Amino acid sequence: MKTEQIKTFATKLIEEASLLQQRVKEYYNDENDELALFLRGIAEDLENLDREKLRGDRVGIYRVVSDAPTLEKSELGKDLYAFNGRLKELIAMLE
Amino acid sequence: MIAWGRRSETGRNIIRFLTDRVTSLNDSDRNPVTTAFAQSIRDGWAGLAYGVNSTLRIAGETFRSIGNGDWQRVKQYGSALVEGTVKGWLWGGIQTTAELLWGAVKMVTPIGLFETIPAWWSSVKDAWAGKRGGWDVALTSLVLLTNVLGMYGTVNGVRTANEFRTFQDTLSPSAQSEYITLSTAEQIRLFDAARNTGVPSTAIEFYLSEIGRPGSPLAELPLADALKISSLATETGQGPVLLNYISHGELASQSWIEYVPIEFRDTVIPAFEGEEAIPLKLTQSRVAYRYWGGKSEETSSPWLTVYSDLTAEQARSLLALPKANLADHITPFLIPEDTIVLIGKAASQSTERWAGSYATGGGIQIYVPDPSVLIKLP
């Protein structure tokens, strides 16, 4: 039951990561933006349910977004932080 | 439903159980250890009461004889008083102290095992044979355990004493000369703090050389904090810059984590090596520097540093900056007085997707929990 819940939640987050990746590319108007590439990597970690990698990814989201305060204050920045919060929930479920 | 109260069945059972235990503890057949212990307390108490009573009586007689001018009786009672005091109190006191010390020695060394193991084994055998209850086994087990714990404490104490004795030898000659100027109590405190914080000997040497300097800010700090700062100073090679910050600030009252906005705590903590940082409230404004460029922005970010002269490559490496931060710009910022800053060593992020092998960390980073206070300098 719990495994199913985790998989369902992770799938939702993979979809969310994909959408955020698209929005970041549009925000910066850059197909090869580092944050967008990072989000694609997070989707891989979500597929593998790699808890340790996901922990590092959470640090990265905060580190990258807080390094760019204009992005941080935008809707996209707020959504990235909200996504980070959901990653935390998933990590807690994996423990 | 259980009925409680002393007249209830449960209450009667509890009272019966307790009464039986107390009776059992004073029954030499069932509990020889506790019975002997209780008897020795009773005997000791009776002896003490008798001694006090006799001494007071003879002293009273001596003073009464002095009042009556009966020198014959003064001599008689006086010599009895002296003899009683010397033999009874002094000699008896010495004997009791020696016995107590011997008992303590036995309990913290294997000597005690010659008594505690046979007593325990005897109680176990008697319990198997149904002669004694489980209480005796529990009690003798407790005594045996105390003996073993005492031995462990002795071994630990001897090892610690040895470490303390050789601690000085781990320091450089100049640090040793500072160390020997400390009082023994201060030496023990330093040894203990160094062990607890696990700082390297280079940090202790830095601390010792600093506190030997008049007006050093480290001398004002709690020892554990001073050692942490010394450790950061030696590991980053930025002693003077760090001490400059410390001397223009005071250690904030709470743990550094408490100053990080709650929603970011678990993502900020791993950014510092060893998940450690020093919380400082500035008493004078200080200048700090921000490396930025690429998608990273100049203002309003909480991430700063003390370095003013790094190349982009060095900054990205030492500060473990994200890939998106090209660090090809540097801007000085004034951090105003009363601002809380968190100073620590940047953790390595070399295996993270958002950084890379270049991001080894190890440089001093400053996290300003409220970056809105920062003033950009020209």
Q: In this predicted model, what pLDDT tens digit does every residue of B280-320 receive, in sequence order?
A: 999 999 999 999 999 999 999 999 999 999 999 999 999 99
pLDDT at B196: 86
pLDDT at B259: 95
Cβ neighbors of B154 (< 8 A, separation 6 or more) are: B108, B109
CA closest to A38 among chain B residues: B354
- Report residue B11's pLDDT band, with 50, 70 and 90 as the boundaries: confident
CB contact A26 to B (< 8 Å): no
Tokens found for residue B10: 């449960």
Q: Report CB contact under 8 Å: A62, B264.
A: yes
pLDDT at B14: 78
Report chain B residues whose CB lies below 8 A from the CB of A87: none
Average pLDDT, chain B: 88
CA distance to partner chain B, nearest, from residue A5 (Å): 24
Distance CA A30, CA A21 (A): 11
Query: For A5-14, A49-58, B48-57, which range has the lowest pLDDT when averaged over its residues?
Result: B48-57
Cβ neighbors of B212 (< 8 A, separation 6 or more) are: B178, B181
Planar angle of CA A76, A81, A83, nearest 5 degrees? 90
CA closest to B300 among chain A residues: A69
Tokens found for residue B378: 């020209």
DSSP states of B109-120 as a string?
A: SGGGHHHHHHHH
Q: In a mutagenesis test of the B interface, which of A64, A73, A80, A83 is the best target, namely the one with the most B β-carbons within 10 Å?
A: A64
Q: Among B44, B28, B24, which residue's Cα sits nearest to residue B36?
A: B28
Q: Report CB contact under 8 Å: B300, A69.
A: yes
Distance CA B360, CA B318 (A): 6
CA distance to partner chain B, nearest, from residue A8 (Å): 24
Phi and psi at residue B125, to the nearest 5°: -65, -45
| Percentage of chain B lying above the pLDDT 70 cut | 95
Chains A, B: CB contacts within 8 A come to 88
Q: Report CB contact under 8 Å: A84, B323.
A: no
The conformation of residue B130, written as its DSSP 8-state character, comes to T
pTM: 0.68
- Report residue A49's pLDDT band, with 50, 70 and 90 as the boundaries: very high
Q: Report CB contact under 8 Å: A56, B263.
A: no
Which residue reads 């979809």 in tokens?
A15
CA closest to B301 among chain A residues: A67
Report chain B residues whose CB lies below 8 A from the CB of A84: 267
pLDDT at B2: 54
Report chain B residues whose CB lies below 8 A from the CB of A95: none
Strands (DSSP E) contained in chain B are 249-251, 278-282, 286-294, 303-305, 325-335, 340-345, 364-367, 375-376
Check: complex ipTM more than 0.90: yes
Out of A45, A66, A84, name the one closest to residue B303 (CB): A66
CB contact A83 to B (< 8 Å): no
B323, A34 contact by CB (below 8 A)? yes
CB-facing half-sphere around the CA of B218: CA atoms within 13 A? 26
Q: In a mutagenesis test of the A interface, which of B295, B300, B370 is the best target, namely the one with the most A β-carbons within 10 Å?
A: B295
Out of A42, A59, A68, name the one closest to residue B296 (CB): A68
Q: Report CB contact under 8 Å: A63, B351.
A: no
CA distance to partner chain B, nearest, from residue A34 (Å): 6
DSSP states of B132-183 as a string?
A: S-HHHHHHHHHHHHHHHHHHHHHHHHHHHHHHHHHHGGGS-HHHHHHHTTS-
Distance CA B218, CA A33 (A): 45
Distance CA B112, CA B108 (A): 7
- The residue-averaged pLDDT of B327-336 equals 96
B217, B211 contact by CB (below 8 A)? no
Q: Among A47, A82, A75, which residue's Cα sits nearest to residue A61?
A: A82
Phi and psi at residue B359, to the nearest 5°: -85, 70
pLDDT at B338: 94
The amino acid at residue A42 is: I
Phi and psi at residue B71, to the nearest 5°: -70, -25
Distance CA B320, CA B365 (A): 10
Q: Among B354, B362, B340, which residue's Cα sits nearest to residue B272?
A: B362
* CA A78 centroid distance within chain: 12
pLDDT at B83: 83
Distance CA B366, CA B351 (A): 22
Phi and psi at residue B101, to the nearest 5°: -65, -45
- Percent helix, strand, coil in chain B (nearest 5)? 60, 10, 25
Q: Report CB contact under 8 Å: B300, A56.
A: no
pLDDT at B6: 62
- Pairwise pLDDT comparison (B234 vs B215), residue with the higher score: B234
Q: Report CB contact under 8 Å: A34, B271.
A: no
- Report residue A27's pLDDT band, with 50, 70 and 90 as the boundaries: very high
CA distance to partner chain A, nearest, from residue B318 (Å): 15
CB contact A69 to B (< 8 Å): yes
Report chain B residues whose CB lies below 8 A from the CB of A46: none
Distance CA B64, CA B146 (A): 52
